Amino acid sequence: MAALINVPAKAKRGDIIEIRTLTSHIMETGFRHTVDGALVPRDIITSFTCRYNGTEIFRADLFPAIAANPYLSFFTVARESGKFEFEWIGDNGYSSTASASITVE
Amino acid sequence: MPTTRRQFLTLAGSVTVIPIVTPRPVEATPAMLNTAIRNIVGEAPIRTGKVKLDIPPLVENGNTVPMTVSVASPMTADDYVKSIHVFNEKNPQPNIGHFYLSPSSGRAQISTRIRLADTQKVVAIARLSDGSFWQVAADIVVTLAACTEEVN
């Protein structure tokens, strides 16, 4: 699944940086009906995690009230060069990952 | 006194007037909002302040509403925001999201896009590292609701 990740490529040690993520997902609420009255089953991302060189720095529990193609933005302190890993987990065994690198000077 | 046919029909007629009870509420109620908040907060008091909720007061399309929650906090190892919880009043269920931070977040601020099914109140609550809870509420007018349309 396609994900858009926005992490600064470079930062000074100690800088507070913003991380923005967007992933494509229908986020079907489970509250909608088809024209003939059948309930459309829920299919959402329930959990998002961001790890910075293996340490969890941000986590979110998501609900049907999060818009389709979930966008999340949060902050972290640039400590060291390395890798951010992102993971989305959802209904029906949904799982997707992405990563981004940063150079800290 | 024996029941006359006319009396019987009047009674029978009045019975059918009883409204049909829907099996499931179509929207969360303020009581459900309270329950959802208490599930997170427990019995702790919730004070107003510190939390800022940036959300447009008038929304044309409830399917995607940008929202930013920020908390006034130094984000140091002994004074930081542990989590931010966002709730709504009238969507089919009261939770919007739980966001977990740490001192390494540097800044207690998160943004996302949410769905709003009706004109309603959105509540953001922050849990601080000292165990206190702070909240803010915003009223949003929604012209086109989310969640209610049919799927083609």
- Residue A37 CA to residue A39 CA, distance in Å, equals 6
Cβ–Cβ pairs < 8 A, chains A and B: 109
Does the beta-carbon distance from A29 to B152 stay under 8 Å? no
pLDDT at B19 over 60: no
What pLDDT, on a 0 to 100 scale, did the predictor assign at position B23? 47
Tens digit of each residue's pLDDT (9 = 90 or more) over A50-88: 999 999 999 999 999 999 999 999 999 999 999 999 999
Residue range A3-104 in CATH 1.10.3720.10: no
- B6 sits in which H/E element: helix B5-15
pLDDT band (50, 70, 90) for residue A37: confident
Which residue in A60, A64, A71 is closest to B93 by CB distance? A64
The CA distances from residue A96 to A25, A91, A99, in Å, are 10, 12, 11
The residue ranges of every structural domain in chain A are 3-104
CATH number, domain B44-144, options 2.40.40.20, 2.60.40.2470, 3.20.20.100, 2.60.40.10: 2.60.40.2470
Provide the pLDDT for residue B145: 81
Predicted local distance difference test score (pLDDT) of residue B28: 64
**What is the C-alpha separation between B34 and B18, in angstroms, rounded?**
30
CB contact under 8 A, B97 and A64: no
Query: Which ipTM value was assigned to this complex?
Result: 0.95
Residue with the two structure tokens 């987990």: A89
Radius of gyration of chain A (CA): 16
Model pLDDT, residue B144 = 84
* Mutation target among B22, B99, B112, B120 for the A interface, most CBs of A within 10 A: B112
- What is the predicted pLDDT for the residue at B25? 47
The pTM assigned to this predicted structure is 0.86
- The encoded tokens of residue A4 equal 């858009």
Cβ distance of B92 and A68 shorter than 8 Å: no
Decide if pLDDT at B24 tops 60: no
- Cα angle, residue B12 at apex, residues B11 and B13 outer, rounded to 5°: 90
